[in-house]
Homo-oligomer: A and B are copies of this chain.
Amino acid sequence: MNPEITNTISNNLFTINNLWMLIATALVFIMHLGFATLEAGLTRSKNTVNILFKNSIIPSIGLLTYYIVGFSLMYPGSNFAGGIFGFAGFGLSTNASGMTNAYNSGYTYWTDFIFQGMFAATAATIISGAVAERIKLNAFLIFTTIFVGLAYPIAGMWEWGGGFLNKLGFYDFAGSTLVHSVGGWGALTGVIILGPRIGKFVKKKVHPIPGHNMPLAVIGVFLLWLGWFGFNGGSVLSANPGMVSLVFVTTSLAASGGAIAAMIISWSLLKKPDITLTLNGTLAGLVGITAGANLMSPFEAILIGIISGIIVVFSVILFDKLQLDDPVGALSVHLIGGIFGTLAVGLFGVKAGWDQLWSQFVGIISIGAFITIFTTILWLAIKKTIGLRVSREEEIAGLDLSEHGMEAYPDFEKVTPY
């Protein structure tokens, strides 16, 4: 075969694959807006500016730390020690042509960086919701910078960077563990160390604190589902037609199963169809399919979605019982959903089996232990130094006034009476 022709044909395929990865990057990017509106919608209006501020700045922190150290920690190439730590040097290591790539032949080095960098920040965004309405802004920003810059990429390297979990046979297609439960464990330690919002648990009784804006929450969930087409679809790492289209199908069917299941269960338990739980059912289905989105049949995807949707309802109730205050349900969706999704790889689909289930279990435990320890130390260090939580007065006044000196919805007649 004429090598020139072969070369041109393969360049075309490279262009297609690379294009899909960039579009997937844009879709993952929009998940940050999804998290911003979801979390703002599910919390009170007096803390809205604060939540929006955190979620607006997280992608920037995530991309810059990923540029400085994250990418090199997560994909150290051959420079690593014992499969648990590696580092390829500060900054990006290539020139502006950037066509070569250590891990994939399907797209450029730049594409690799920007796609992975968008992923990185999502882990921090998960935490943002769980610790909302009481954490100090500077404390959260410092936590996020270190968490996204160090904890996320080191844990990610264990699997996606060729580390010890990868060698062990652990499988996490798009990050039920590596993204969602990594965020989830960090959220769990944060929720425990911070304590509940004032008024949430009074004399052991749960007082629901409803979010202030349901349209925002719904916008958030739709944008997250949209973004998941890039999150899971992009994790194919090419535009391979069979694989990417299967992933679109399994992702959507799992989301659908999760929504319907959470609707039915919450309707039965609470006598009213609960929109928040139904939305969290959608998200739980999405998190649940993420670890094995490329391994499942459509029917298995629906099953995984349904189970995830059922789990999330009981999980929300359980965390309330445990007096762990998570304003947006992030622990149930991302931590519990992430764990179930990771185990699902061993229970359903083409990799199902005891060996795989064991590998999944080991992966969950390893990552869970590392992130729990890392974030516990980090939260406590921040607590001891600059402090973690706003004062009682500030919390009651709302973080918008106390941390930002402004309101999310100022009444113009009060401010400008002309």
Asked if residues A45 and B412 are in contact (CB atoms below 8 Å), the reply is: yes
Given known A36-B218, A61-B260, contact A248–B12 (CB-CB < 8 A): no
Majority-rule SS of A interface residues: helix
> Which one of B111, B226, B297 lies within 8 Å of A29 (CB-CB)?
B226
Mark interface residues in A220-241 (1 if CB within 8 Å of B CB, else 0): 0111011001000100000111
Segment touching B, from A153-161, A275-283, A312-320: A275-283
A382 to chain B, nearest CB (A): 17
Asked if residues B52 and A199 are in contact (CB atoms below 8 Å), the reply is: no
Asked if residues B275 and A404 are in contact (CB atoms below 8 Å), the reply is: yes
Asked if residues B36 and A256 are in contact (CB atoms below 8 Å), the reply is: no
Given known A5-B9, A19-B20, contact A253–B64 (CB-CB < 8 A): yes
> Which one of B198, B210, B256 lies within 8 Å of A64 (CB-CB)?
B256
Question: Does A89 belong to the interface (CB within 8 Å)?
Answer: no
**Alpha-carbon distance A149/B339, docked complex (angstroms):** 33
Asked if residues A210 and B245 are in contact (CB atoms below 8 Å), the reply is: no
A201 to chain B, nearest CB (A): 12
Specify how many copies of this chain sit in the oligomer: 3
Question: Does A268 belong to the interface (CB within 8 Å)?
Answer: no
Contacts of A37 in B (CB 8 A): 215, 218-219
Question: Does A378 belong to the interface (CB within 8 Å)?
Answer: no
Asked if residues B407 and A98 are in contact (CB atoms below 8 Å), the reply is: no
Mark interface residues in A331-357 (1 if CB within 8 Å of B CB, else 0): 000000000000000000010000000
Contacts of A25 in B (CB 8 A): 229, 248
Given known A22-B233, A56-B221, contact A199–B416 (CB-CB < 8 A): yes
Residue of B nearest to A29 (CB): B226
Residue of B nearest to A306 (CB): B64
Asked if residues B404 and A274 are in contact (CB atoms below 8 Å), the reply is: yes
Contacts of A273 in B (CB 8 A): 53, 137, 403-404
Q: Which of A64-120 contact B (CB under 8 A)?
A: 64, 67, 91-92, 95-99, 107-111, 113-114, 117
Asked if residues B408 and A214 are in contact (CB atoms below 8 Å), the reply is: yes
Mark interface residues in A1-28 (1 if CB within 8 Å of B CB, else 0): 1101110110011111011101101110
A228 to chain B, nearest CB (A): 10
**Alpha-carbon distance A382/B162, docked complex (angstroms):** 57
Question: Does A40 belong to the interface (CB within 8 Å)?
Answer: yes
Mark interface residues in A391-412 (1 if CB within 8 Å of B CB, else 0): 0000010000001111111101
A275 to chain B, nearest CB (A): 5
Given known A53-B273, A67-B298, A418-B199, contact A245–B408 (CB-CB < 8 A): no
Contacts of A108 in B (CB 8 A): 241-242, 245-246
**Alpha-carbon distance A9/B9, docked complex (angstroms):** 7
Question: Does A126 belong to the interface (CB within 8 Å)?
Answer: no
Asked if residues B229 and A26 are in contact (CB atoms below 8 Å), the reply is: yes
Asked if residues A239 and B409 are in contact (CB atoms below 8 Å), the reply is: no
Contacts of A403 in B (CB 8 A): 272-273
Mark interface residues in A186-207 (1 if CB within 8 Å of B CB, else 0): 0000000000001100000001
**Alpha-carbon distance A302/B61, docked complex (angstroms):** 12
18 extra interface residue pairs, beta carbon distance < 8 Å, beyond A15-B239, A99-B241, A210-B406 = A1-B5, A12-B16, A14-B241, A18-B244, A33-B218, A37-B218, A48-B214, A53-B275, A55-B218, A60-B255, A60-B256, A96-B242, A96-B246, A114-B245, A213-B409, A214-B408, A272-B406, A275-B406
**Cβ contacts A to B, 12 pairs, < 8 Å:** A5-B9, A12-B13, A13-B15, A14-B241, A18-B244, A22-B245, A29-B226, A45-B412, A52-B218, A61-B256, A108-B241, A207-B416
Which 5 A-B pairs rank lowest in CB-CB distance, beginning with the nearest?
A60-B256, A110-B245, A33-B222, A18-B241, A44-B412
